[in-house]
Amino acid sequence: MSAENYYKEITITASAGPSYISGFYEDYLQDGMSYGIGAFYNLPFLNSNTYFLGGLSFSSYEMLVNSNSMLQQYDIYAGGMFAYPLMSYIFINTGITLRGIYSMLDTENTKRHETTIKPGYSVFIGGMTYLGRGVGLFINAEYRMSELSSEKFKTAELRGGLTYNFGDYREDIESRLNADKKIALFDRGISEFRNKNFNEAKKLFSDLHQMDSEYPGLDYYLQRVAEIEENRKTAEQYLSQKNSLKAIPYLASCSPYIKDCELKLIQQRKILMSNITAWEKEGINLYDNRQYKECIIMMEKILLVDPENKSANIYLPRAVKRNRAIESLQSE
């Protein structure tokens, strides 16, 4: 199962929890508390969810016969851990550690002060959840065993605490900044697009695409940019051929977004405007002579040059209606 690893590189931990004694010393010591600070380091060359861990812990236990008599233990530990993602933000983890344990026993009634250093080990299983901004929570159930005065000293600990990963904190901040930058680029691109600053809008959308090719809504505007550029190219080709009538539809399609196209559209319509009166007469004659198809072509040509032309707006729908009626009768 794939999930983002929020615990890359070094993660700092701080924990605390109850420590329950079992075995021989259960009759002599009360359950105590355990505290720890540590770190784990991602080992991606082994597995993306494999870690080396190490740290320090402290445990304290009161004697049953006298609460002023205590056993204190200081651990230095190192080991390995594997964390498996259940969900994007939730991991289960298990591991083993080797320990160097310094034990210090103080008894009030006998005034004894004994110290010893013994090796030990622990195994644990638990879970971690990532909260964001580099901070996470974890809880572990841990079984620890060492030797104390020739007897096995066994404890079961339940530890909870915090994790902190500065690298992920930095990534989280950068991600939030990038999110704000993406929003700004997208909004500016739309604004420039609407204000007919086509080249600037195209650049902004292109910059956003490089940052996030799947940004919501971006694909629509990139397609619009491609369509507009294609229409402008086609219009320029017809203009180079001195074919204003064929250039006008393409200029009209890109003029709402490109100022140069708008100016050229006005210019080409102005050039052809002197033909409107003759075209009107020809179109009306075609209508009167029941040449509806030819009338439709003429009226559409007039509207390309003069979209508000009254004659064309009256006769075009009439010619279309009559032509459809004739075609319907012919098909029966």
Q: What is the mean pLDDT of residues 197-216?
A: 92
pLDDT surpassing 60 at residue 319: yes
For domain 274-331, the question of CATH label 1.20.120 is answered with: no
pLDDT surpassing 80 at residue 4: no
Q: Which of these, 98, 102, 121, lies nearest to 58 by C-alpha position?
A: 102
- Treating both helix axes as pointing N-terminal to C-terminal, what angle do 218-240 and 259-272 enclose, rounded to 10 degrees? 40
pLDDT of 109 reads 63
Q: Do β-strands 10-22 and 32-42 pair in parallel, antiparallel, or remain unpaired?
A: antiparallel
Q: What is the mean pLDDT of residues 273-289?
A: 95
- Do 175-272 and 274-331 come out as alike in CATH topology? yes
pLDDT surpassing 80 at residue 331: no
pLDDT of 144 reads 95
Residue 33 region by backbone torsions, left for phi larger than 0, else alpha for psi between -120 and 50, else beta: beta
Give the start-to-end residue ranges of the domains of the chain: 10-164, 175-272, 274-331
For domain 175-272, the question of CATH label 2.40.50 is answered with: no
Whose structure tokens read 């622990």?
122
Q: Are 71 and 63 in contact (CB under 8 A)?
A: yes
pLDDT surpassing 50 at residue 3: no
Sequence-distant (6+) residues with CB within 8 A of 226 are: none
Q: Are 145 and 121 in contact (CB under 8 A)?
A: yes
* Domain 10-164, second-level architecture: Beta Barrel (2.40)
Q: How many CA atoms lie within 13 A of 10 on its CB side?
A: 6
Torsion (CA) 272, 274, 279, 280 in degrees, nearest 10: 120
Q: How many Å apart are CA 45 and CA 156, to the nearest integer? A: 32
Per-residue pLDDT tens for 27-83? 889 999 999 999 999 887 766 789 999 999 999 999 988 778 899 999 999 999 999
Instruction: Report the share of the chain in percent with pLDDT over 70.
Output: 97
pLDDT of 1 reads 38
Q: How many CA atoms lie within 13 A of 85 on its CB side?
A: 14
Q: Are 90 and 64 in contact (CB under 8 A)?
A: no
Q: Quick one: pLDDT band at residue 174, thresholds 50, 70, 90?
A: confident
Residue 157, both tokens: 């600990």
Average pLDDT over the chain, rounded to whole? 91
Q: Please give the backbone phi and psi of residue 2, each rounded to the nearest 5 degrees, phi first.
A: -95, 140
pLDDT surpassing 80 at residue 173: no
Q: What is the mean pLDDT of residues 134-143?
A: 94
Q: How many Å apart are CA 249 and CA 256, to the nearest integer? A: 12
Q: Are 190 and 221 in contact (CB under 8 A)?
A: yes
Q: Quick one: pLDDT band at residue 110, thresholds 50, 70, 90?
A: low
Range scoring the smallest mean pLDDT among 88-92, 302-306, 309-313: 88-92
pLDDT of 332 reads 62
Whose structure tokens read 């550690």?
97
Higher-confidence position of 66 and 155: 155
Q: Are 146 and 175 in contact (CB under 8 A)?
A: no
pLDDT of 176 reads 78
Per-residue pLDDT tens for 235-275? 999 999 999 999 999 999 999 999 999 999 999 999 999 99
Per-residue pLDDT tens for 228-241? 999 999 999 999 99
Q: Are 158 and 144 in contact (CB under 8 A)?
A: no
Higher-confidence position of 111 and 147: 147
Range scoring the smallest mean pLDDT among 105-114, 135-144, 181-190, 231-240: 105-114
Q: How many Å apart are CA 167 and CA 6, to the nearest integer? A: 9
pLDDT of 148 reads 87
CA 36 to chain centre: 34
Instruction: Report the share of the chain in percent with pLDDT over 90.
Output: 74
DSSP code, position 196: T
Q: How many Å apart are CA 101 and CA 146, to the nearest integer? A: 8
